[in-house]
Structure 1
């Protein structure tokens, strides 16, 4: 009798497990409308806001779920096209949601609906993978009294503390990567019963586009990749070389301009020698701490001073030779203004956990450590500047699994693609899009002279946005709007 009871109990347990497993494997993503939005929406914009609920890690069908905010903006057209645009920004770790405040300026809505998706792990997603520990480490390391010998230990502790906190919150860090984001967007398309759609992606999110084109191509009508980052590129290995090549392109334009060349003769070589000198003998800059009123001393090397170019936006590019020349004549007013910002309190570390998970799973494992070490020492102008976004030791602490080899291999597709680049973009140089064009047979490439990263987000000149929208409406022709032909090299400031 006891044996029979045991068998009955065992059968019941097995049936319960089977039932539970069945429910888990039948999980269906959902979209629920919410009246509470992330931001105030401009007057007159018709929209729906809600949350997409998906699995945190699709390798575990009985795992927890997460929620991603989504805005669906209705087209301003009375007869909108049926293929919406899905948009998500770069990073990894950057939030898409603040964009909703500027929908009045988005040309795309003149023709079709525009859908904004927050990538998992970012600021308005649930959960949000923030890392204030990392921000505090950056703040401490930038202060003038920081002992550089403690740099590695400081950031290793920050990564460890952040990881432990997120793990304690029940977050599976292996669930936050490009493949999962691509699957999220595919789930959204299916939940909303979209038959065909277009993708607008910038910088890091162009990797999401490539994964979607490879793994879920059937419903994709066209893709715009603004400042594309190829899957097959090892970003860290090239970053310093790309930086120096980009600034040399700017110098060449200055030399070709009579006014710029007259005002700043031989600026390329002079700046190069200046950076080398400052690497060996750091520039001493005294700055008043706005919090304490005390004077504190910074020692700046070439790797610090190169930010006169890297920190420039497209709008401030015409000032770059002028600002470099100020350094060369020991006018430190601009340098001191920038250094004052280092005394501001550290940020919240928004999206940094997401950035760590993506980078440590998808970029770091494919790096050659020998190449990284070599690049750090190779260029005397910026010697000591590491090309790696995160050091190998940091990724070992973060502990996420390496993605499969296919995530470091080129994607090929016949889906219509428009590549957009800024000529001076050192983060995602135009040469990458040129190489990608070989694998995307139905593609066009636009290069915006004198512009930097992500041209479609240039609010001072919406020409790249106009070009992208023209492409969405006319897939069989290269979009060259009137505004594009009017863009020339910058008129550099000379006084």
Structure 2
């Protein structure tokens, strides 16, 4: 029985794989070329330039393959824009940045300066895009086979092997799809565009990119915003389960400290954790209809699966979490069944999954203690069997990419102005990580958005974090204090 959380992680699909081979020339220089064919339809009133940055796939092979990376340069709404643009790239690894291109009207940064939206190598609209439809199909098949762990592991290992062999056969060098090369791509772009000074906006995984840029290419960086920062020195896979349980406990303790919430859901923290432990020993049996054939499927859910009532929630869902937990404790499984029904959806194309594997297996897996991961998997009775690892060690052995140097697991030091932004209930990149970074990034400020989860600057229903980021870009020497910040308080939890 695999964790429902892990299914959500595994099912990620987008785009088509394209190869782009270089011409035989040793004097290659990165270049930006405009294109009329964009990745998305952009609103007519938006002023922008679209094109591709062309760089070497492997910088040690000047006669080798080239990759093409799409980007938008959105023009500022200001009549007198500031000269230093913001470069924005999203997290993942393996996710596309290009979807944001359709929503630039909501981005406050354009009130003051241009914004460059950059696609990382190996992701959806890059050429090539490292698709793994084999992986998406394997997840789909494992769902239909009753969520058996041994079978799922075998299916996923086969999928990883098939995808790896196909990509390598297509001439793709999987060893150069990593954070260091993305940082070098961005530096090449800044040079190709003739930009003298710029600002960085990064989120989640891409904050690792900004850390590498601060270390290796600091000369033209004016300021950096790291939303939900992931320190490069953190061994994510060793502590993700601990972070999840700590964050769940913090939210439920806040409910207990709230008079109305505690009255509605008394002692909810202990009751929920005890429930998870109970269901780990005696799994919850759920019958869910397979939407493809209308037949009932029996699913057995343990604590590691049921904790998804928290882990699958976003910031907008936070006020409802105690209510949803209470439904579960009262055996109201309507929400659980709704989530389970998505497991039977047709598989996607696994776009960017190969990029995710290359990054994780080169940068995270080599520094993991497999003993600690094994210990963490069996350490917590509430979620027994929930592995903290994004990819199993065996998957990374199959993927077979080279480990990055040890420096990529060491903290980055910098005195360039940095704003760290955290969500209070973010279990993926917890507040404590951003706090630890301040010891090495000495000219930094830290904002914590109470009641929020991962990615505060992407909270469309409340753009306060985006406002804070924009204020910082306008004045990197001061900690931003937008008026809206005082209004971000502990959530008003939904009551019965």
In structure 2, distance between residues paired with 1:143 and 1:457: 34
Q: What is aligned with 1:339? A: 340
- Displacement after TM superposition at 1:25 (Å): 4.0
- Displacement after TM superposition at 1:151 (Å): 2.2
- Displacement after TM superposition at 1:115 (Å): 0.2
Q: Does 1:88 align with 2:71?
A: no
Contact kept? 1:144, 1:296, Cα under 8 Å: no
- Displacement after TM superposition at 1:142 (Å): 2.5
Q: What is aligned with 1:450? A: 451
In structure 2, distance between residues paired with 1:206 and 1:141: 33
- Displacement after TM superposition at 1:259 (Å): 0.9
Query: Residues 250 and 146 from structure 1, CA distance in 2 versus in 1: closer, same or farther, beyond 3 angstroms?
Result: closer
Q: What is aligned with 2:98? A: 97
- Displacement after TM superposition at 1:62 (Å): 2.0
Q: What is aligned with 2:492? A: 491
Deviations 1:386-409 (A, max 9, x none): 100011110011000000000000
- Displacement after TM superposition at 1:60 (Å): 1.8
1:185-224 pair list within 5 angstroms: 185-224=186-225
Equivalenced residues, count: 474
Deviations 1:423-482 (A, max 9, x none): 000000010010001111110000000000010000010000000000000111110100
In structure 2, distance between residues paired with 1:382 and 1:59: 45
Which SS does the other structure have where 1:84 is aligned? strand
- Displacement after TM superposition at 1:209 (Å): 0.1
Contact kept? 1:135, 1:349, Cα under 8 Å: yes
1:224-303 pair list within 5 angstroms: 224-303=225-304
Q: What is aligned with 1:114? A: 115
- Displacement after TM superposition at 1:289 (Å): 1.3
In structure 2, distance between residues paired with 1:369 and 1:244: 20
Query: Residues 462 and 196 from structure 1, CA distance in 2 versus in 1: closer, same or farther, beyond 3 angstroms?
Result: same
Q: Determine which structure has more spread, i.e. the larger CA radius of gyration.
A: 1
Q: Which runs of 5+ in 1 are unaligned?
A: 1-22
- Displacement after TM superposition at 1:144 (Å): 5.7
Q: What is aligned with 1:411? A: 412
Q: What is aligned with 2:468? A: 467
Which SS does the other structure have where 1:135 is aligned? helix
- Displacement after TM superposition at 1:146 (Å): 4.4
In structure 2, distance between residues paired with 1:143 and 1:154: 12
In structure 2, distance between residues paired with 1:430 and 1:453: 10
In structure 2, distance between residues paired with 1:153 and 1:344: 21
Contact kept? 1:75, 1:111, Cα under 8 Å: yes
Deviations 1:114-170 (A, max 9, x none): 001000000000000011111112222233634433222111101000001111111
Q: What is aligned with 1:17? A: none
Which SS does the other structure have where 1:70 is aligned? strand
Q: What is aligned with 2:479? A: 478
* TM norm structure 2: 0.94
In structure 2, distance between residues paired with 1:110 and 1:241: 41
Which SS does the other structure have where 1:52 is aligned? strand
Q: What is aligned with 1:394? A: 395
In structure 2, distance between residues paired with 1:334 and 1:231: 36
- Displacement after TM superposition at 1:287 (Å): 1.1
Aligned-pair Cα RMSD in Å: 1.1
Which SS does the other structure have where 2:212 is aligned? helix
In structure 2, distance between residues paired with 1:25 and 1:361: 28
1:159-174 pair list within 5 angstroms: 159-174=160-175
In structure 2, distance between residues paired with 1:28 and 1:149: 49
Q: What is aligned with 1:33? A: 34
Q: What is aligned with 1:314? A: 315
Which SS does the other structure have where 2:231 is aligned? coil
Q: What is aligned with 2:425? A: 424
- Displacement after TM superposition at 1:24 (Å): 4.2
| Worse-matched range after superposition: 474-483 or 415-424 | 474-483
